[in-house]
Structure 1
Amino acid sequence: MSHKLKTFISELKNRYSFYKTNSDVNAKYSIQFVCGYHGLSGGSEAIVSVANQLSKSFKVSFFTFPKSPLNPILGSFVRKATEIEEADLFIVDRSLSEEEYKTIKSFNVPIIVSIHGKPNSLHGLKDDVSMQVFNYATDCHFVSLTQSELFQDEARNSFVIANSSDDLRSCSYIETRTRTKRLGLVGNFEAPRKNLNKNIESGLQSDADTIIVWGNTLEKISDKRVIYKGYGHDKVEIYSSFDVFISLSTDENLPLAIIQALGAGKPCVLSDIPAHREFAHCKGVVLVELDDKQQVVNAVNQLLKEYSNLKETCENFWFDNFSEQQISENWKRTVIRLIENSKCA
């Protein structure tokens, strides 16, 4: 299928999802999500996930447009809005214009900025633009303590709630003679920090039969063991396609792909960077030094042998730390507290 045809089909899906009528929840409080960045990334997917979770307890709308790639993943109880509307609370990202922030601020209600990156990484926005949200937000949401420490000079009234992911425990590895030891990569590999080539090279030096790459790539290594799948929406399909997950990123925040992999029962080989150390106490995770090729290969081979025995360990770790059940309750309590405090002020 040509790139042009794929783009056309994708835009049709986005438009269909935009015009599809969603149901409103009969709830006491309303929340509107307003995001300037509508590209598909771990951060944008995480914000959509929060909207979907909160839509079960609040009246939730999401400011969007017909071609937005986020439309297909917005839940059935999230109303799609074409303008900024009055609400009891707003949740925004860091990439809005100052005019939009001022409009939201005029409603005089709590504004949460949900941050899914680092101070110097925001889809090419200049520092002065990416930091202006702190002049308007009343509260700052971070996904890890490691991340929050990077913003300690700018953020006020901050709180930490990790990203959640869908329940992927139904993912199962289908045994066939040709599918025995599969290594998986998931992410936007157009970003150099994702270290695509090092991930693939490590896989090719290991005992893996196949290396499955899910996500956008700028270049491809020509090897019959490497299969490029492109970007996919079906998480069950993605995480059922391999046995062991690998991420040798040089820099991360709290990667949603790792959370999803653990939820699907997939053990992980991860580079030893601050963000990945959040997962170090899971027995299904092995941290490796980026410059130690043999250590990486040994870790991959070890998990390819043991993945079936680690499945339950990974799933339990996900449930205790990142399941929608746990994260949704944290968000619900936080939102109610902020709204009710603001009404009493």
Structure 2
Amino acid sequence: MDDVPDGSNELYARLAAFEGRAAVVSGVGKDLVNEPMIRHWCEAMGDANPAYTGPDAIAPATMLQAWTMGGLSGHTGHTGHTGRSDRSDRQSAQDELFALLDGAGCTSVVATDCEQEYFRALRPGDRVTFDAVIESVSPRKTTKLGSGHFVTTRMDIRAGGELAGTHRFRILKYAPVARPEHKRRVARPRPVINRDNAGFWEGVAEHRLLIQRCAGCGTLRFPWLPGCNACGSPEWDTVEASGAGTVYSYVVMHHPPFPAFDPPYAVGLIELAEGVRMVSNVVGVPYDKVRIGMPVQLEFMRAGDEDEESEANEGNAEWELPVFRPAHEGARA
């Protein structure tokens, strides 16, 4: 990532003038911190920490931003930086900034990272309030996606008037690089195989999906780990998965483009019949038809081709990947 000349010092001066401007003033969480949302979060994350249940429960610290989100209907009743309470104006400083970036050709956006700091535990019944400010706008940068500006927004989140934490969210507003009309075929990258997961990939080569089982407490685990995260035992054996599962969650990948893949495509978090979850591609169905709860069945997909014309493919003989297709389509192992 490199700095590039803005082409107009005046443009960056206008962008930098947004630093310090309020994006949200006196925002109020739509719901009190509550046990059902904490439970849903912990179930989704697989976090069974007892601190999140019972009469003295606290909310997971990483839920900090969740209590500020407006959902599909958005927020109403709090003021934006102009002081008006209409919902359309609450983030008008950001709207103005983004309009200026759009006008400069930076019409695409991608989230790059977030940072959180925690100062006070949130508990069921807390009413969350928040303010947000445009903290920084970077000079124009060149990335593989294109050239543009990083915009960082800081949100200060309070409960009972006391600072509970801060949330910094950074995006890149950029002008996308023109994609070549003809792309050279590039092999799918091979998985990284090490001493901890070699047995898994040996099973895949034999068209067997193996799950680790702790020899101490019997807990199944995936992905493969050197020890049990339930009892700490380093001893284990394996069980073979039946191949049946459901889509627990999924995302549709659009960016960044990679020559070995053809976005958009679906990546699913598959809950196997045995109870563990794994990340894999959902194939045999259009990406926009994948649904949470969809029954799927394991199959093994051949990848790599030593005939492909790329230096990266040299010696890249065919190998196998576990993927899932809708169960009604049938498995083709």
Superposition TM-score tier, normalisation by shorter sequence:
under 0.3
Name the TM-score, length of structure 1 as normaliser.
0.23
Q: Larger % of helix: which?
A: 1
Q: Which has the larger radius of gyration?
A: 2
Q: Larger % of strand: which?
A: 2
